[in-house]
Amino acid sequence: MKKYMMGLDLGTTAVKAVLFNTTGEYIDKETQHYPLHTPDVHIAEQDPDEILEKSMEAIRLLVARNRCGNSIEFISCSSAMHSLILLDRSGSRLTECITWADRRSEDVAEEWGTERGVGIYRRTGTPIHPMSPFIKLLYFKEAHPELYSQIGKVVGIKEYVLHHLTGVYEVDKSIASSMGMMNLETSHWDTEVLEILGLDTAQLPDIVGTTKVYPSLNRMHEKLGIAEKTKIITGASDGVLANLGVNAIQKGDIAITIGTSGAIRTVIDAPRTDVKMRTFCYHLTDDHYVIGGPVNNGGVVLRWIRDELCTEEVDEAASSGKDPYEVMTQAAKEVRPGSNGLIFHPYLAGERAPLWNAKAVGSFYGLTLSHERKHMIRAAMEGVVYNLYSVYLALREQMDSVGSIKASGGFARSEMWKQLMADVFGEQLTVPKSYEASAFGACLLGLYAIGEMKDLDEAAQFVGESDAYVPEEAVYMKYQEIMSVYIELGRALEPFYNRMDEIR
């Protein structure tokens, strides 16, 4: 009988249940979408019960469609980081699921982002920013003391979903290390952080390894159509699992992901933080830590361009049966590298790395009467990659050498995106032919957890072939000139972010 494994990936806008056989071959996936509620510029939250329901539905549909309920070895979990759900002492919700994109705590982050928060960053590996659950909790403590006093348990979306599968509230070390509250050296909740928050360990989930195996489904197996023997693997965060899913875990390997947001990461063997607090450090296993930087503005930038500027391209796509992004990127291809002197800073949703400034805003620089919409499309695409490259420069300072650069995410479906990234970075870019890197990484971690994979280095035999994109030297040199302007211009704009935030 064939055996299967499933990765359950809880993303910002959708949950994906992805089925592989135990040799790593992709079989099928089920995606269930849910909304991100943004009633104003500061709030970004979701209904955790809706996410729970969609997660269970994704598993049910995938299992039923493939008639594999008795053949699934395990379900291993991946999740977006930095979410926060407050429960009262009876286990009822006090809040919605507050996502990484929520900005209500930006004033608290600004207060703690100076020397006051440096020690906490160095111990926990999470930069001081509104995304951090530590900063979110400080906000609630100060702004909503009555609600804060009712806290019985602090969890994230992954713990909330897993609780319904396992019956316990536990958090894996990877997610815990992204909360700004776990000491990386001890893998325990940081004593000083708990004192600052006025919380005790009983109000937090127990911290467990990313390879913990739960032997039962808390009576959920019948609802999901899965055998009672099916194991649950706690798994890790989506970012660190993406590195594993594209086999970017050797020293010097770099993984780049662009979905709605984006990130650039590399794996090291012991915790390390940046003296300038530009990068994160998150746990994968006891011998693998991931450092890098996340960006808020990935594919969401091109979606904004599509919705607000490209009605003509959207109409053309509808009439020709094409994807709107295909029409947009074809228009961008008509423009020479550099967009005829047009530079776009892509901070439409504030920014994490490299600025760590939630009040940052986007801007076009260099607009003239000679520019057309196609120049703006290309400039937006270039701006996203420029921003990732600036994070790469900070990460590069912490590395001895670069071995390979591997990319994944929705952007990897576009030939132009991939060639653009190779040209800006000036390095060969490889794109592994793996499906859903985070979900696949969760499955590889699951194989490691149950002893079917002896070492994470064995991931290479599961990932398979890669497509390669080589930079064009002349284009790379031009982009290097533009990058110096992009960085200097960005520094000049920074003092205006706070002023404009106050004005509006």
Q: Which of 257, 220, 219 is nearest to 434 (CA)?
A: 257
Total residue length of the chain: 504
Residues 210, 352 within the same domain = no
Residues 90, 236 within the same domain = yes
Q: Tell whether 164 is covered by a domain.
A: yes
Q: Tell whether 385 is covered by a domain.
A: yes
What pLDDT digit, counting tens, does each position of 448-459 carry? 999 999 999 999
> In this structure, which long-range contacts are made by residues 218-223, counting pairs with CB atoms below 8 Å and at least 24 apart in sequence?
218/164, 218/165, 218/166, 218/167, 220/56, 220/164, 220/165, 223/56, 223/60
Q: Tell whether 116 is covered by a domain.
A: yes
Q: Which of 371, 369, 311 is nearest to 338 (CA)?
A: 371
Report the 10 Å Cβ neighbour count for 287: 11
Q: Work out the pLDDT band at 285, boundaries 50, 70, 90.
A: very high
Residues 193, 307 within the same domain = no
Cβ proximity of 432 and 408 under 8 Å: yes
Q: Which of 127, 176, 105, 130 is nearest to 394 (CA)?
A: 127
Q: Which residues contact 497 (CB under 8 A, 6 or more apart)?
A: 357, 359, 360, 361
Residues 218, 309 within the same domain = no
Q: What is the pLDDT of residue 222?
A: 87
Residue 487, amino acid: I
Q: How many Å apart are CA 288 and CA 211, to the nearest integer?
A: 13
Q: What is the pLDDT of residue 41?
A: 85
Query: Residue 465: is its pLDDT beyond 80?
Result: no
Residues 321, 194 within the same domain = no
Going by the DSSP 8-state scheme, the letter that residue 246 receives in this structure is T
Residues 311, 217 within the same domain = no
Q: Which two tokens stand for residue 266?
A: 């590399």
Q: What is the pLDDT of residue 484?
A: 97
Query: Residue 217: is its pLDDT beyond 80?
Result: no
Q: What is the pLDDT of residue 216?
A: 74
Residues 128, 213 within the same domain = yes
Question: Count of domains in the chain?
Answer: 2
Q: Tell whether 132 is covered by a domain.
A: yes
Q: How many Å apart are CA 466 and CA 407, to the nearest integer?
A: 10
What pLDDT digit, counting tens, does each position of 370-405 carry? 999 999 999 999 999 999 999 999 999 999 899 899
What pLDDT digit, counting tens, does each position of 405-427 carry? 999 888 888 899 999 999 999 99
What pLDDT digit, counting tens, does each position of 225-273 carry? 999 999 999 999 999 999 999 999 999 999 999 888 899 999 999 999 9
Q: Tell whether 259 is covered by a domain.
A: no
Indicate the residue among 181, 212, 246 that finishes a domain. Answer: 246
Q: What is the pLDDT of residue 22?
A: 95
Q: How many Å apart are CA 96 and CA 84, to the nearest integer?
A: 8
Percent of the chain clearing pLDDT 70 (strictly above): 100
Residues 108, 226 within the same domain = yes
Q: Which of 43, 51, 1, 4 is nearest to 23 (CA)?
A: 4
CA distances to 7, 77, 112, 481 from 457, in Å: 19, 20, 39, 38
Query: Residue 434: is its pLDDT beyond 80?
Result: no
Q: Which two tokens stand for residue 36?
A: 């991100």
First to last CA, the chain: 63
Q: Tell whether 56 is covered by a domain.
A: yes
Which domain CATH number covers 328? 3.30.420.40
Residues 223, 316 within the same domain = no
Q: What is the pLDDT of residue 503?
A: 87
Q: What is the pLDDT of residue 318?
A: 95
Q: Tell whether 334 is covered by a domain.
A: yes
Helical (H) or strand (E) element with 416: helix 415-425
Query: Residue 306: is its pLDDT beyond 80?
Result: yes
Q: Work out the pLDDT band at 76, boundaries 50, 70, 90.
A: very high
Q: Which of 58, 63, 1, 57 is nearest to 27 (CA)?
A: 63
Query: Residue 435: is its pLDDT beyond 80?
Result: no
Residues 174, 235 within the same domain = yes
Q: How many Å apart are CA 286 and CA 298, to the nearest integer?
A: 30
Residues 196, 341 within the same domain = no
What pLDDT digit, counting tens, does each position of 325-367 carry? 999 999 999 999 999 999 999 999 999 999 999 999 999 999 9
Q: What is the pLDDT of residue 260?
A: 83
pTM beyond 0.75: yes
Q: What is the pLDDT of residue 450?
A: 97
Q: Which residues contact 473 (CB under 8 A, 6 or more apart)?
A: none
Residues 56, 150 within the same domain = yes
Q: What is the pLDDT of residue 266?
A: 97
Query: Residue 140: is its pLDDT beyond 80?
Result: yes
Indicate the residue among 201, 228, 246 that finishes a domain. Answer: 246
Cβ proximity of 229 and 69 under 8 Å: no
Indicate the residue among 246, 264, 281 that finishes a domain. Answer: 246
Query: Residue 62: is its pLDDT beyond 80?
Result: yes
Q: What is the pLDDT of residue 153?
A: 98
Beta bridge pairs of residue 408: 257
Domain of 327 in residue numbering reads as 299-402+472-503
Q: Tell whether 287 is covered by a domain.
A: no
Q: What is the pLDDT of residue 132?
A: 97
Q: Which residues contact 85 (CB under 8 A, 6 or more apart)?
A: 48, 93, 95, 96, 97, 98, 154, 155, 156, 157, 160
Beta strands, E only, 296-414: 343-345, 363-365, 404-408
Q: What is the pLDDT of residue 411?
A: 81
Q: What is the mean pLDDT of the chain?
A: 95
